[in-house]
A and B are shown apart, each in its own frame.
Chain A
Amino acid sequence: MNSLRLPLLESVFSAVNLGAIVLDGQRRIALWNCWMTKHSGLAHEQVLGQDFFSVCPELRGGRVEAAIQYALYNNFPSLLSQTLNKAPFALYARDERIQQAVEVTPIAVEGAPRHCLIQVSDVSIAVAREKLLREQAMVLRSQTFADGLTGIANRRHFDVAMEKEHRRAKRGGTPLSLLMIDIDHFKAYNDHYGHQKGDQCLIQVAAALADMLKRPCDLMARYGGEEFAMILPETDVDKALLMAEAIRARAQALAIPHERNTDPSQLVTVSIGIATQKADAPVEMDALIGAADRALYQAKRSGRNLIAAIQPI
């Protein structure tokens, strides 16, 4: 029975249904199981004996390296949560990068310096489920964030969403675009056609514009009386300009008559101000909103039924 023990342990280690790596005191790979091979594409002959950080250079200087140091030198285990560490290892299943929960644990070895064990669990399903639950919760929550007249998001919702997306863009290093959309000469519309028709106009425009949103993270909100704001995360200047132009055209295409509009079409038109926070150059949230406002003002001054973009500083 004793002579079976070692081969048995080796087989079990190889077969466990999670990633298991063991590093020796010099951070060289001592063990690398089948799960790791299957999801990393690296056979264990390729990696055995190699310095861990030459096999995974992208992990240098990060939380994984710190955890390995704590295990080897301080004898402390570490936990890397999936929320704070987005898929640190390059592991794939079903053509997608696996969401990972990682544990790094010190291992005492008789007759050798301390080793460390890295365990990687596939938590993709749990992450997807949480995302779904969160989206559903958001739907429920958004019902208290709706504008009474148009049914789209209200100013309060905008404020909350703006802060969240601004932080998310800064953290993730992604661009963020903000559009300020204002119905041209709306006061004159109200005066001429009456407030009831004014309300109808707002409802129609809001619905048409909100309909143009493509992704769950995009938000269209009623910002003020006849002013709307659109938050477009992960959208750069070019895409924002395209979207703004599409919105401008769509508003006009509604063909709502507006005899008091200065635009030659004599239809309801909108002016749009655009500001984009670049992926590598985050700005203060107020600066982004201020720039979009100034851009809107510029569009108005330049004749209305136009779009204008200003760089936030």
Chain B
Amino acid sequence: MLPTFTLSELENDALIEIFNIGVGHAAASMSAIVNEAVRMSVPSISFIPRVEAARLLGAGSGDSGPERICGVSQHYDGAFETEAILMFPEDKSLEIVRLMVGEAVPLKELTEMEQEAMCEIGNIMLNSCVGTLANIFQRELHGSLPQYHVGTSDQILSATAAGSQADTVVLMLHIDFLLEKHQIHGYVAFVLAISALHDLKDQINLYIARVMGQA
């Protein structure tokens, strides 16, 4: 199933560049909110099965069991369908919220208002990534409002409608986030049906051809 799907170097390059533009815009928005310099980039992407995606986010390390993480998800449909989820490992979620909201609180004490702030951060980042993709591919989509999740990575990736199906794959973006000298590594996961992958490949090539054709 999965091994037959690969992107060429050029296709991979194009997709990473598109997502870098998306998170770049998100960083600019977040910078305006906190009045500090914010930088974000996508150093790499990968296509992996859901189980592996869950493991990436600390599905279990030793006796302590799977670590809890915080995620914000949004559903998109229309020209293609996906569940997009912004995730940070537990200790990093606290840092992000602390930095953005300006308060020091343990995850357990994350109040409703701070959860809402985390939702907005997810809303900004996911809309920016998917919006850039939709604009560049010139496709029509419809998005949902953000939803907050706390649990293990496996729980979060399965909780969404798309994620509970068997033949899904995850397009994983590794995100580097830099605010006030704090470097944080997070993830954006796009849960996709396998059929959507080929559509994605076609779209990337259409985009490249369209740009080249404009010479």
Direct A–B contact in the complex, CB atoms closer than 8 angstroms: yes
A interface residues, Cβ below 8 angstroms from B: 62-63, 66, 70, 74-85, 101, 103, 105-106, 126-127, 130, 133-134, 137, 160, 164, 167-168, 170-171, 173
Question: What is the minimal beta-carbon distance from A192 to any residue of chain B, in angstroms?
Answer: 43
Residues of A within 8 A of B113 (CB): 81-83, 126-127, 130
Roughly how many angstroms separate A127 CA and B100 CA in the complex, as a whole number?
17
Q: Which residue of B lies closest to A108 (CB)?
A: B142
* In contact, A103 and B145 (Cβ under 8 angstroms): yes
**Please, could you name 29 A-B residue pairs with CB atoms under 8 Å apart, sorted by A?**
A63-B32, A70-B127, A70-B131, A74-B127, A74-B135, A74-B141, A75-B78, A76-B142, A77-B143, A77-B144, A78-B123, A78-B124, A78-B127, A79-B116, A79-B145, A81-B119, A82-B113, A83-B101, A83-B114, A83-B117, A84-B121, A103-B145, A126-B113, A130-B111, A130-B112, A133-B111, A160-B104, A164-B102, A170-B36
CA gap between A81 and B124 in the complex, in Å: 11
A76 CA to B122 CA, complexed, in Å: 13
A78 contact set on B, CB distance < 8 A: 123-124, 127
CB neighbours (8 Å) of A77 from chain B are 143-145
| B102→A171 contact, CB < 8 A | yes
Is B202 engaged at the interface, CB distance under 8 Å to the other chain?
no
Known: A74-B127, A75-B143, A130-B111. A81 touches B104 (CB 8 A): no
Please, which residues of chain A bring their CB within 8 A of the CB of B117? Answer: 81, 83-84
Query: Which residues of B19-36 have CB atoms within 8 Å of chain A's CB atoms?
Result: 29, 32-36
Is the beta-carbon distance between A79 and B101 smaller than 8 angstroms?
no
Does the CB pair B140–A167 fall under 8 Å? no
Contact partner, A63, options B29, B140, B141, Cβ 8 Å:
B29
B89 at the interface (CB under 8 A from A): no
Whole-angstrom distance between the Cβ of B21 and the nearest chain A Cβ: 14
Say if the beta carbon of B120 comes within 8 Å of chain A. yes
* Cα(A2)–Cα(B100), bound, Å: 50
Give A124 Cβ to nearest chain B Cβ, in Å. 12
How many B residues, CB 8 Å from partner?
Answer: 37
- CB pair A75 B127 closer than 8 Å: no
- The answer, yes or no, to whether B146 is at the interface (CB within 8 Å) is yes
Whole-angstrom distance between the alpha carbons of A145 and B145 in the complex?
41
User: Which chain A residue has the least Cβ–Cβ distance from B145?
Assistant: A77
Q: Is B7 an interface residue (CB 8 A)?
A: no
Instruction: Identify which of A62, A70, A81, A137 gathers the most chain B CB atoms within 10 Å of its CB.
Output: A81
Determine which residue in B34, B78, B127 has the highest number of CB atoms from chain A within 10 A of its CB, and name it.
B127
Instruction: Tell me whether A101 and B116 are in contact (CB under 8 A).
Output: yes
Residues of B within 8 A of A62 (CB): 32
When C-beta atoms are compared, the residue in chain A nearest to B99 turns out to be A167
Central interface residue in A62, A82, A84, A130, by most chain B CB within 10 Å: A84
Residue of B32, B113, B135 contacting most chain A CB atoms (<10 Å): B113
B169 at the interface (CB under 8 A from A): no
Q: How far is the CB of B33 from chain A (nearest CB, A)?
A: 5
List B contacts of A127 (CB < 8 A).
113
Segment 106-159 of B: residues with Cβ below 8 Å from A: 109, 111-114, 116-117, 119-121, 123-124, 127, 130-131, 134-135, 140-146
List, in ascending order, chain B residues with CB within 8 A of A70's CB.
Answer: 127, 131
CB distance from A82 to the nearest CB of B (A): 6
Contacts of B145 in A (CB 8 A): 77, 79, 103, 105
| Closest-CB distance, B9 to chain A (whole angstroms) | 29
CB of B120, distance to nearest CB on chain A (Å): 4
Report how far A83 CA is from B102 CA in the complex, Å: 10
Question: Is A80's CB under 8 angstroms from B120's CB?
Answer: yes
Contact at A79–B120, with CB atoms within 8 Å?
Answer: yes
What chain B residues lie within 8 Å of A82 (beta carbons)? Answer: 113, 116
Closest residue on chain A to residue B135 by CB atoms: A74
What residues of B have a CB within 8 angstroms of the CB of A173 in the complex?
35
Interchain CA distance A76-B140 in the complex, whole Å:
10
B102 to chain A minimum Cβ distance, whole angstroms, is 6
Alpha-carbon distance A77/B32, docked complex (angstroms): 20
Smallest CB separation, B138 vs chain A (Å) = 12
Residues of B within 8 A of A170 (CB): 35-36
Whole-angstrom distance between the alpha carbons of A75 and B78 in the complex?
A: 10
- Check B142–A106 contact: CB distance below 8 A: yes
